[in-house]
Chain A
Amino acid sequence: GESVGLHLPTLSVQEGDNSIINCAYSNSASDYFIWYKQESGKGPQFIIDIRSNMDKRQGQRVTVLLNKTVKHLSLQIAATQPGDSAVYFCALHDAGGSQGNLIFGKGTKLSVKP
């Protein structure tokens, strides 16, 4: 079956530094990838997405990089702020699943030190 994993379960950064959260996946047929932010006791919040025909996409303070050769996805957060503290999940569109469900990675907890 599909699996989506993360290299680092926890990440602690200083306020103002850049953060990089990584994700590995195994299904080469996946065509759509998303990063979500989840704060304690809340549902996932969409951050940024990328389709498989791209290798980089930028948003406001966030950049997602996709390396299909090694099946690796990363989220870069520039000038990390205390409000960025949360658990971050990568997810991929399950091309073989029922009606486009998402498969989530294990999550990385980002802690921002003031």
Chain B
Amino acid sequence: GAVVSQHPSRVICKSGTSVKIECRSLDFQATTMFWYRQFPKQSLMLMATSNEGSKATYEQGVEKDKFLINHASLTLSTLTVTSAHPEDSSFYICSAGGGYEQYFGPGTRLTVT
């Protein structure tokens, strides 16, 4: 149980385009999902907290207009990287749950050329 999936697992896009990443809780409902970004050989940094049916809460320094988060159902949250630039290339990981239990997705490798 408690499986979280992400799609796509890898994506390459051109600079200036937008890309959407999906995070799904497969066998449970998640009112809260978290989005993390991880650069090579670094730790996970929380970008935002996604709440079903309400606006996401962004961490300091994360541009909410650039990283659009939608949590329209209890099993799906999406992260859209708008007007992507090469510096947005990173490993994006979501987790579902909250409090003492979080279940992580397998991550999405974004490469912006």
Contacts and interface: CB of A to CB of B under 8 A. Distances in A.
B74 interface: no
A86 B84 CA distance: 30
B67 interface: no
A99 B98 contact: yes
A93 B107 contact: no
Contact of A101 (B34, B91, B104): B34
B24 interface: no
Nearest to A100: B99
A27 B93 CA distance: 24
Interface residues of A, number: 21
Interface string A33-61: 00010000111111001000000000000
Contacts, number: 54
B78 interface: no
A32 B43 CA distance: 19
B25 interface: no
Give the most central of B34, B51, B102, B103: most A CB within 10 Å: B102
Given A43-B106, A101-B49, A93 B100 contact: yes
Interface of B: 4, 6, 32, 34, 42-46, 49, 51, 57, 91, 93, 95, 98-100, 102-107, 109
Interface of A: 32, 36, 41-46, 49, 89, 93, 98-107
Nearest 10 A/B pairs, CB to CB = A100-B99, A43-B104, A104-B43, A104-B44, A100-B98, A43-B107, A43-B106, A44-B104, A98-B49, A98-B57
